[in-house]
């Protein structure tokens, strides 16, 4: 018999290293034609940091996006980044990039104040221009500034670093640990159909919503949300390196036996969305969250299985074998 | 004002991906490059009594063989640096590295591996973390099978008074949950290309997710300052935490340093599946004290994490899990005991979420059972317990920019679920 | 023992020396430096090595190199025509259908094979067409959307 059920799961996820103390740095250089090189040390593992860090730099410098290159090639040129892990790059490197852009803007203002013979406070860097507030004739394009600065024997480099705070240890007695850069939130609703004869679970519908502070790039979020869901479905239903745990007998050897989701496992209805509660310390309010996109589908599906067939599967993954055994035990 | 943040700006590396111009490490071929294969332990636990690589070294087509003796610096790495690049003596899991060969191609390197004489005294392994904790269990590690935190053999989280909470509760709900060993299975397996560059420095093309973090470990292994290693990366074919640990760079780097020729070391998918770090399995025991109205007023959690033969990020993962395993809920009394156990399995480490995904997996089944036990709609339980702005978590952090209620409302709406008016009226900004 | 293997690669003739046991993936990646087909598993499981042989999608890691003698082999390197991106390439880019990008060449070839045979596939047919290509980043939703957009004529030259 095929039985349907609905399940929900909610969760939260921190950005950055447990205990804090995981800095990132960034550097932005003004080139002779008024374009920029952004250098940082974060690795793009597919999440899209090469894209969003430029977005942040362009906004802060108020220049066209295409005027900014991004390099993260090696440790000779790239400033330090603790690493791409723990949903930390948007938050830490994002803040570092904003700081570097602000620093460069300040240096450009100082240079322009000398040139225009005014106070730096009167100089504005905006709209790809550098000008004295309220004096339209005292204005230079960024291209002009780049040429004058660089060929004039100066080198303007903005540097920035961000750390969520000094590293913390747990209090040994109470476990007190307050260093959490940001917390993102999420909720997943799964609808499944369980075949009580075969134990096979079909995920019919998956709704995921994440509260991300501020989406840097909504479509990169969409990719994380949908992609994480596919990994979460695998976590819930199939993925197991040691099927006879705790023994290592018949441990899986390759992708033939380690079953990850394919396009055919996509729920026919997949809905994702974000909500935004800006974080006071996040770059433009952003939090780090994308690891969490894989956390909720699994428990939502197992809760939906319970809703469908009335038995709890308490061991992940909920394989057909486990479902049939649980049904058998319930009827015994 | 430029306003790119929030806009669907196309991926900076997207054109590279769709034209296949993006260069991944295995796409790199250097003139005269040699290929590495690694001899790994065929047994789960044992002691190397004899290792003789001379026949392999003499084989035509072989350019070099390295073992623990060829590590100029510290033969240990990891967030907790306890894993040797090549084990000199003790074997703690099947697949542990013993020696590496560089040869003209991988077939020749494999042949050479077979010529290495290896005599291992096999010992009784322990796989079950609960058995490993028993007195008299075979020792995975000389110092004992349970990790020592700064709080002893358990990571202790003590918030409020759980016993008082249980006493005041209307219902007690208990449950035990397990999660399995998971593999990251990134489509790009581990690979490293190392060579001596034009400035006579060691250069390594890496799949590392963490250039500086790993550079620090490599400087210790190679006994070189940071500026004598050019660590080239930044583009990775999927990581999910597997490339948060070094798997090939140390071996390739050591070989290049020894033979001063370009080398490539890449995992086959089988090596990737069998030998790389994993998301370790967990057992969770929950006991909740619940009020009839749905408030969870006490939550006790005991977790046992199986981290395999080396610490890797296992203790870190237990720490991170402990902070949030009680869920995104304002529970006034929380007690967490987190235990990290060594067994004779490949080391477990980070994977997408550092133990939080496992905690969520367990806590969300438990919370659903709480709802069932008191005959409430699960939405009700999630809403009334959800963190509000300024609430304290179990480790006494203050919740800032709380947003769970907003996420739940939107999810219910998108799922076509009509929430009762009193839940819809709730907000993270107040209780 | 080595053999001379001659075939057509992305419209141009190539000759190379191969062993009888070299797979097409070995030939392309290691001998010819044509690296768009990726070695995800070398075992036929992942589809990252998918190329077209006489228009048919094959797994290069399961294809013995010598069997393509005299045939036409097409890879992502040959998708661009006159310097312009293939509609599928544009659609993949604009739909964010590549995250880490490692499975993307195989996906593109699988998608091309599908559309060459069936220019107006249903969603189910698209899903089936790419279901042999694993993507651990989980871009399936976006890949399907990109292929649907091309099939709907949104990326006509
Ligand atoms: S490399 Fe050929 S199918 Fe995976
Ligand atoms: S985009 Fe990363 S594997 Fe598909």
Reported ipTM: the value is: 0.98
Given the CA of residue C101, which atom of ligand 2 is nearest to it? Answer: 1
| Cα–Cα distance, A109 to A247 (Å, whole number) | 66
Determine the Cα angle at B348 with ends B346 and B350, to 5°. 145
Same domain for C106 and C127, yes or no, is: yes
Per-residue pLDDT of B246-255, as tens digits, reads 999 999 999 9
pLDDT of residue B1: 80
For residues C12 and C48, membership in a common domain is answered with: yes
Return d(Cα B196, Cα B206) in angstroms, integer.
Answer: 15
C-beta atoms of C132 and A228 within 8 A: no
Token output for A222: 């969409």
Distances (CA, A) of C80 to A153, A265, C75, C108: 44, 31, 10, 12
Strand partners, A13: A184
- Report how far residue C35's alpha carbon sits from residue B7's, in angstroms, rounded to the nearest whole number: 33
Where would I find the beta strands (DSSP E) of B311-357? 334-341, 348-349
Bond from prior residue into A246 cis (ω within 30 degrees of 0): yes
pLDDT at residue number C156: 85
The answer to whether C101 contacts chain A (CB < 8 Å) is: yes
The CATH number for C70's domain is: 3.10.20.30
Nearest in space to B207 (alpha carbons), one of B23, B76, B80: B23
Query: Residue C84 forms beta bridges with which residues?
Result: C81
Q: Which residues contact B121 (CB under 8 A, 6 or more apart)?
A: B46, B47, B49
Q: Are B304 and B341 in contact (CB under 8 A)?
A: yes
Q: Tell whether C11 and C68 lie within a shared domain.
A: yes
Q: In this structure, is residue C112 part of a structural domain?
A: yes
CB spacing of A230 vs C127 below 8 angstroms: no
Residues A235-264 have pLDDT tens digits of 999 999 999 999 999 999 999 999 999 999
Which residue from A194, C64, A294, C141 is spatially nearest to B185, judged by alpha carbons?
A294
Q: Which ligand is nearest to the CA of A255?
A: 1
SS3 string of chain C?
A: CEEEEEEEECCEEEEEEEECCCEHHHHHHHHCCCCCCCCCCCCCCCCCCEEEECCEEEEHHHCEHHHHCCCEEECHHHCCECCECCHHHHHHHHCCCCCCCCCHHHHHHHHHHHHHHCCCCCHHHHHHHHCCCCCCCCCHHHHHHHHHHHHCCCCCC
Same domain, C66 and C116: no
In a domain, C82, yes or no: no
Q: What is the mean pLDDT of residues B99-116?
A: 98
The pLDDT profile of chain A, 332 residues, written as one tens digit per residue, is 999 999 999 999 999 988 888 999 999 999 999 999 999 999 999 999 999 999 999 999 999 999 999 999 999 999 999 999 999 999 999 999 999 999 999 999 999 999 999 999 999 999 999 999 999 899 999 999 999 999 999 999 999 999 998 889 999 999 999 999 999 999 999 999 999 999 999 999 999 999 999 999 999 999 999 999 999 999 999 999 999 999 999 999 999 999 999 999 999 999 999 999 999 999 999 999 999 999 999 999 999 999 999 999 999 999 999 999 999 999 88
Give the global pTM: 0.97
Confidence of residue B39 (pLDDT cuts 50, 70, 90): very high
Over residues B224-274, the pLDDT tens digits come to 999 999 999 999 999 999 999 999 999 999 999 999 999 999 999 999 999
Q: Does C93 touch chain A (CB under 8 A)?
A: no
Bridge partners, residue B110, by sequence: none
What tokens appear for C35 in the block? 């690296």
**Which chains pack against C, by 3+ Cβ pairs within 8 A?**
A, B
Q: Which one of C54, C76, C98 terminates a domain?
A: C76
- Whole-number Å distance, alpha carbon B51 to ligand 1 midpoint, is 35
Is the link from the previous residue into A260 a cis peptide, with omega within 30 of 0?
Answer: no
CA distance C25 to C36: 10
Res. B376 pLDDT band, cuts 50 70 90: very high
- Predicted confidence at residue B32, as pLDDT, reads 97
From ligand 2's centre to the CA of B40, what distance in Å?
Answer: 29
Q: Which residues of B fall within a CB distance of 8 Å from C134?
A: 187
How confident is the prediction for chain B on average, in pLDDT? 97
The reported pLDDT for the residue numbered A17 is 87
Question: In C, which residues are within 8 Å of B34 by CB distance?
Answer: none
The residue with tokens 């699988």 is: C110
Partner-chain residue, chosen from A172, A235, A248, that has the shortest CB–CB distance to B357: A235
Distance CA B79, CA B190 (A): 18
Neighbours of chain A (3+ CB pairs under 8 A): B, C
Answer yes or no: are the C-beta atoms of A225 and A208 closer than 8 Å. yes
Could you report the per-residue pLDDT of B270-302, keeping only the tens digit for each? 999 999 999 999 999 999 999 999 999 999 999
| Whether A231 and C138 lie within 8 Å, measured CB to CB | yes
Neighbours of A329 (CB within 10 A): 9
Position in ligand 2 atom list of the atom nearest CA B17: 1
For A2, the token pair is 């095929």
Are C19 and C57 found together in one domain? yes
What are the residues whose beta carbons fall under 8 Å from the beta carbon of B321, sequence distance 6 or more?
Answer: B282, B303, B305, B338, B354, B355, B356, B358, B359
Tell me which residue in B18, B187, B270 faces C108 most closely, judged by beta carbons: B18
Segment C110-132, tens digit of pLDDT: 999 999 999 999 999 999 999 99
Domains and CATH numbers, chain B: 26-123+184-275 (3.90.1170.50), 146-182+278-424 (3.30.365.10)
Residues 6+ away with beta carbon under 8 Å from B144: none
> What is the Cα–Cα distance from C111 to C123, expressed in whole angstroms?
12
3-class DSSP state for residue B237?
coil
Distance CA C154, CA A127 (A): 34
Which of B158, B364, B415 is nearest residue A189 as measured by Cβ atoms?
B415
Half-sphere exposure of B375 (CA within 13 A, CB side): 2
φ, ψ for residue C28 (rounded to 5)? -65, -50
Instruction: Give me ligand 2 centre to Cα B112, in Å.
Output: 35
Q: What is the pLDDT of residue A57?
A: 98
End position of a domain, from candidates C76, C110, C142? C76
Q: Does residue A137 belong to the interface with chain B, where contact is any CB pair within 8 Å?
A: no
Q: Does the CB of B20 have a partner CB in chain C at under 8 Å?
A: yes
Claim to verify: residue C126 and residue C94 sit in the same structural domain: yes
| Residue B2, pLDDT score | 85
- List B272's β-bridge partners, or say none: none
pLDDT of residue B428: 98
- Ligand 2: residues with CB < 6 A are A 46; B 187, 238; C 98-104, 135-137, 139
pLDDT over 90 for what percent of chain B? 99
High-pLDDT (> 70) share of chain B, %: 100
The domain containing residue C28 runs over which residues? Answer: 2-76
Output DSSP code: residue B335.
E
Q: What is the CATH number of the domain that holds C106?
A: 1.10.150.120
Q: Is the per-residue pLDDT at B86 higher than 70?
A: yes
Inform me whether the pLDDT recorded for C50 exceeds 90.
Answer: yes
* Whether the Cβ atoms of residue A203 and residue A229 lie closer than 8 Å to each other: no
The residue from C33, C57, C76 where one domain ends is C76
Q: Which conformational region is residue B362 in: left (phi greater than 0), alpha (psi within -120 to 50 degrees), or beta?
A: alpha
The predicted structure's pLDDT at residue A218: 97
- Chain A interface, best mutation among B15, B185, B401, by max A CB count within 10 A: B401
Residue C106 Cβ contacting ligand 1 at under 6 Å: no
Q: Tell me, what's the pLDDT at B216? A: 97
- Both C30 and C69 in one domain: the answer is yes
pLDDT band at residue C46 under the 50/70/90 scheme? very high
User: If pLDDT is split at 50, 70 and 90, which confidence band does B431 have?
Assistant: confident
Would residue C106 count as lying in a domain? yes
For residue C112 and ligand 1, the question of a CB distance below 6 A is answered with no
Domains parsed from chain A with CATH numbers: 2-15+180-331 (3.30.365.10), 24-162 (3.30.365.10)
Residues of B in contact with C101 (CB under 8 A): 13, 16-18, 22, 237
Contact B8, A64 (CB under 8 A): no
Atom of ligand 1 nearest to the CA of C37: 1
Q: C68 with C102, same domain?
A: no
Q: pLDDT category, C157, cuts 50, 70, 90?
A: low
Does C58 share its domain with C97? no
CB spacing of C41 vs A264 below 8 angstroms = no
Examine the domain organization and report whether C29 and C51 are in the same domain: yes
SS3 label, residue A8: strand
Question: In this predicted model, what pLDDT tens digit does every residue of B380-390 receive, in sequence order?
Answer: 999 999 999 99
Question: Same domain for C98 and C57?
Answer: no
Tokens of B75: 């033969």
Q: Is residue C120 part of a domain?
A: yes
Q: Are residue C61 and residue C109 in the same domain, yes or no? A: no
Residues of A forming the active site:
291
CA of C63 to the centre of ligand 1 (A): 10
Does some domain include residue C81? no
Looking at the structure of chain C, the number of domains it has is 2
B324 CB within 8 Å of a chain A CB: yes
C77-107 confidence digits (pLDDT tens):
999 999 999 999 999 999 999 999 999 999 9
Helices A218-237 and A297-309, interaxial angle, to 10°? Answer: 50
């Amino acid at each position: 018999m095929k039985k349907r059920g609905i399940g929900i799961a909610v969760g939260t996820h921190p950005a950055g290293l447990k205990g804090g103390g995981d800095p990132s740095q960034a550097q932005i250089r003004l080139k002779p034609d008024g374009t920029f090189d952004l250098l940082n040390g974060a690795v793009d593992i597919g999440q899209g940091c090469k894209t969003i860090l430029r977005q942040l730099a362009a906004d802060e410098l108020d220049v066209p996006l295409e005027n900014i290159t991004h390099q993260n090639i090696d440790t000779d040129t790239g400033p330090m980044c603790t690493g791409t892990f723990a949903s930390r790059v948007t938050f830490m490197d994002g803040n570092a990039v904003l700081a570097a852009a602000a620093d460069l803007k300040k240096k450009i203002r100082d240079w322009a104040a000398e040139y225009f013979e005014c106070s730096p406070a009167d100089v504005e860097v905006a709209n790809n221009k550098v000008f004295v507030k309220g004096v339209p004739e005292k204005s230079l394009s960024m291209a002009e500034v780049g040429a004058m600065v660089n060929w004039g024997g100066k080198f303007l480099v903005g540097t920035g670093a961000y750390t969520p705070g000094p590293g913390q240890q747990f209090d040994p007695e109470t476990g007190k640990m307050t260093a959490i850069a940001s917390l993102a939130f999420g909720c997943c609703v799964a609808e499944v159909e369980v075949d009580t004869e075969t134990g096979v679970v079909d995920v019919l519908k998956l709704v995921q919503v994440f509260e991300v502070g501020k989406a840097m790039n909504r479509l990169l979020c969409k990719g994380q949300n949908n992609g994480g869901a596919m990994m979460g479905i695998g976590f819930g239903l199939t993925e197991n390196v040691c099927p006879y745990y705790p023994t290592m007998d018949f441990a899986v050897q390759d992708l033939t036996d380690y079953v990850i989701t394919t396009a055919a496992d996509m729920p026919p209805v997949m809905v994702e969305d974000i909500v935004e509660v800006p974080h006071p310390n996040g770059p433009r309010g952003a939090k780090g969250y994308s690891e969490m996109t894989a956390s909720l589908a699994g428990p939502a599906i197992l809760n939906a299985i319970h809703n469908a067939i009335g038995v709890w599967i308490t061991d992940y993954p909920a394989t057909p074998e486990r479902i049939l055994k649980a049904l058998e035990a319930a009827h015994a | 004002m430029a306003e790119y943040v929030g806009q669907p700006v196309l991926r900076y590396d997207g054109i590279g991906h769709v034209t296949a111009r993006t260069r991944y490490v295995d796409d790199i071929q250097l003139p005269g490059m040699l290929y590495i294969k690694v001899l790994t332990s065929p047994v789960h636990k044992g002691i190397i009594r004899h290792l003789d690589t001379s026949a392999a070294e003499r084989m035509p087509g072989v350019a070099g063989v390295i073992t623990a003796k060829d590590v100029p610096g510290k033969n240990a790495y990891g967030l907790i640096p306890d894993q040797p690049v090549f084990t000199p003596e003790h074997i703690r899991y099947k697949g542990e590295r013993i020696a590496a060969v560089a040869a003209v191609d991988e077939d020749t390197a494999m042949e050479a591996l077979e010529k290495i004489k290896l005599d291992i005294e096999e010992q009784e392994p322990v796989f079950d973390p609960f058995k490993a904790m028993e007195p008299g269990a075979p020792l995975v590690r000389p110092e004992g099978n349970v990790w020592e935190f700064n709080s002893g053999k358990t990571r202790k989280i003590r918030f409020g008074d759980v016993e008082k909470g249980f006493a005041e509760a209307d219902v007690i709900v208990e449950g035990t949950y397990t999660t399995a060993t998971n593999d990251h299975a990134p489509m790009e397996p581990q690979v490293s290309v190392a060579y001596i560059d034009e400035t006579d420095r060691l250069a390594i093309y890496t799949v590392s997710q963490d250039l500086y973090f790993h550079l620090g470990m490599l400087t210790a292994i190679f006994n070189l300052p940071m500026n004598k290693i050019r660590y080239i990366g930044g583009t990775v074919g999927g990581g999910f935490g597997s490339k948060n640990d070094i798997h090939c760079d140390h071996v390739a780097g050591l070989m290049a340093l020894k033979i001063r020729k370009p080398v490539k070391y890449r995992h086959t998918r089988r090596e990737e599946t069998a030998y790389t770090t994993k998301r370790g399995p967990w057992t969770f025991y929950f006991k909740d004290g619940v009020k009839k109205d749905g408030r969870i007023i006490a939550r006790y959690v005991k977790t046992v994490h199986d981290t395999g033969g080396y610490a890797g990020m296992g203790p870190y993962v237990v720490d991170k899990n402990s902070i949030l395993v009680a869920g995104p809920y304002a529970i006034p009394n929380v007690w967490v005991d987190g235990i990290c156990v060594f067994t004779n399995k490949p080391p477990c480490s980070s994977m997408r979420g550092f133990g939080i995904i496992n905690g969520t997996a367990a806590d969300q089944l438990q919370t659903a059972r709480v709802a069932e036990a008191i005959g409430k709609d699960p939405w009700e339980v999630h809403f009334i317990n959800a963190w509000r702005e300024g609430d304290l978590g179990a480790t006494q952090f203050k919740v800032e920019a709380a947003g769970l209620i907003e996420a739940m409302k939107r999810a219910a709406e998108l799922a076509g679920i009509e929430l009762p008016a009193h839940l819809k009226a709730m907000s993270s900004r107040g209780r | 023992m080595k053999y001379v293997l001659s075939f057509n690669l992305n419209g141009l003739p190539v000759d190379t020396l191969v062993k009888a046991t070299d797979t097409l993936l070995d030939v392309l990646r290691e001998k010819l430096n044509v690296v768009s087909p990726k070695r995800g598993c070398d075992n036929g499981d992942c589809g990252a090595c998918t190329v077209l042989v006489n228009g048919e999608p094959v797994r290069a890691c399961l294809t013995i190199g010598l069997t393509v003698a005299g045939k036409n082999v097409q890879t992502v390197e040959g998708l661009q025509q006159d310097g312009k991106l293939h509609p599928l390439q544009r659609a993949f880019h604009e739909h964010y259908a590549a995250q880490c990008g490692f499975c993307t060449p195989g996906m593109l070839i699988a998608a091309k094979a599908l559309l060459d045979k069936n220019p107006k596939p249903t969603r189910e047919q698209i899903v089936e067409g790419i279901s042999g290509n694993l993507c651990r980043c989980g871009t399936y939703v976006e890949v399907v959307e990109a292929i649907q957009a091309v099939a709907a004529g949104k990326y006509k030259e």
